[in-house]
Structure 1
């Protein structure tokens, strides 16, 4: 599941879910998700709320460290924008959260899209491909450091000499590396350096094509890449009830039109995610309902199983109102989806 780092995922003004991006709300939400059997939580990184700069925004890395301390089973995945952190400092933080969580930590590398977080702070915001080139060098350094290596590196952006971090990871070779983005530089980056590729919500045939493209790229001796999918879930006893709720959330989301226009103006037009979302109107962020997880309990479970058969192992899910719909999903859909996935093969679909 996605942590509520900037409140509601579908519509900012929903009387059933008052806006709340507080630490207290997120702590309670993640602890309940863990108790319900969710496998992972993604803590997105923003310094400024991407929808409305006057609203609250949870800080990702301090929250991830705190969540690592109060949970016991759920994987904590913290997003990081390389332009905001030197790789040596970030790698040290990652290893510390890995230790706090006892081997349950992952980094989600996102090469930034919202210039409003950077330019007003006087931070550089290079053009799209330059951000990915920076991110590739950054990730090379981070990858070596979190693996316990003595890193000597001289590149365009970073210079390190015999730099080693201790203590090293006591639980595995290193924390997991998740990479987001669907542009050509993003695909090349995840093929070269990632463990899991996060794909934005979209129809099954698109996901199959994306997986086929990246799976065909060389990875050297690295293990096969794994795949995750973002999706907003609307599940009800009947298809008609789910569609009615979808329409209701879309109507609420329409009230945010002015804020979304500001967000679009602040977004790098070369970002593939934003272009794809604009071409497939949906509820929720990162593709949301475009993945088609809207329908009866059985329909949603069957669609999850179909994505799983195509190669998706981790479903990063959004809901609204979050707590109530997360409970509904855990009770009504997750058991069906896991049974279908088990019947279709040995791999178990993770719901998060």
Structure 2
């Protein structure tokens, strides 16, 4: 079945005419953005995520933006210690909603661009063009130690991010195989199909 083209303007507007965009942040982590021990604190459970996502979709909110977290913080609150990985969370959330945009948050140094490009385009097809990418480079050394790698200097992390997003964009747009002889990635005969849904790339968001 042919897929109708999605204009870039539709992506940029998050599908609405609202100039002020309203969304839900950090639903995928326990306690959300509040370090508290009150009994009614946010659980971060899938049941609660699904309920809030559907409510936000129904009332006309514009987006859902998850936090990329791997260990949370110590203490009595259990602040953000429980979390859902954001790309699988996004795919499930997109499948359960109709119109709201859903972002995935990706730590560049921890996700290979070829794998991430395929994961994200899968999300985009599940949501029929409602997926967006929040690209981050990390800032917590303990989280990087969990992956057996040091946290690089700030400038180096962003240099890697530039190569990473260049590769992802080419995987999403190039029809022919390509090589990438970069400083951080040395890749051969790259290709990826399908391309993003509707022929335009997912919206890119950057948390500095």
Q: TM-score range by the shorter chain?
A: 0.7 to 0.9
Larger RCO: 1 or 2 (CA < 8 Å, sep 6+): 2
Q: Distance in 2 between matches of 1:79 and 1:120?
A: 18
User: Would the alpha carbon gap of residues 24 and 142 (structure 1) be closer, same or farther in structure 2, given more than 3 Å must change?
Assistant: same
Equivalent residue for 2:47, pick from 5, 11, 24: 24
Q: 1:1-352 maps to which residues of 2 (within 5 A)? A: 1-6=24-29, 7-15=31-39, 17-49=40-72, 51-52=73-74, 55-150=81-176, 151-181=178-208
User: Would the alpha carbon gap of residues 74 and 13 (structure 1) be closer, same or farther in structure 2, given more than 3 Å must change?
Assistant: same
Q: Deviations over 1:147-204 (max 9, x none)?
A: 34443211111122331111112313211111121xxxxxxxxxxxxxxxxxxxxxxx
> What is the RMSD of the two structures over their aligned residues, measured on CA atoms?
1.7
Q: Distance in 1 between matches of 2:33 and 2:84?
A: 14
Structure 2 residues not aligned, in runs of 5+? 1-23
Q: Distance in 1 between matches of 2:143 and 2:175?
A: 32
Q: Deviations over 1:28-74 (max 9, x none)?
A: 1111111111011101211222x338531222111111011111100
User: Would the alpha carbon gap of residues 149 and 47 (structure 1) be closer, same or farther in structure 2, given more than 3 Å must change?
Assistant: farther
Cross-structure match for 1:291: none
Q: Deviations over 1:237-287 (max 9, x none)?
A: xxxxxxxxxxxxxxxxxxxxxxxxxxxxxxxxxxxxxxxxxxxxxxxxxxx
User: Would the alpha carbon gap of residues 12 and 4 (structure 1) be closer, same or farther in structure 2, given more than 3 Å must change?
Assistant: farther
Contact 2:140 2:151 in 1 (8 A): no
Q: Distance in 2 between matches of 1:96 and 1:24?
A: 23
User: Would the alpha carbon gap of residues 179 and 149 (structure 1) be closer, same or farther in structure 2, given more than 3 Å must change?
Assistant: farther
Give the length in aligned residue pairs.
179
Contact 2:121 2:197 in 1 (8 A): no
User: Displacement of 1:141 after TM fit?
Assistant: 0.7
Q: Which has the larger radius of gyration?
A: 1
Contact 2:132 2:202 in 1 (8 A): yes
Contact 1:103 1:175 in 2 (8 A): yes
User: Displacement of 1:104 after TM fit?
Assistant: 0.4
Contact 1:5 1:58 in 2 (8 A): yes
Cross-structure match for 2:3: none
Q: Taking structure 2 as the reference length, what is the TM-score of the superposition?
A: 0.79
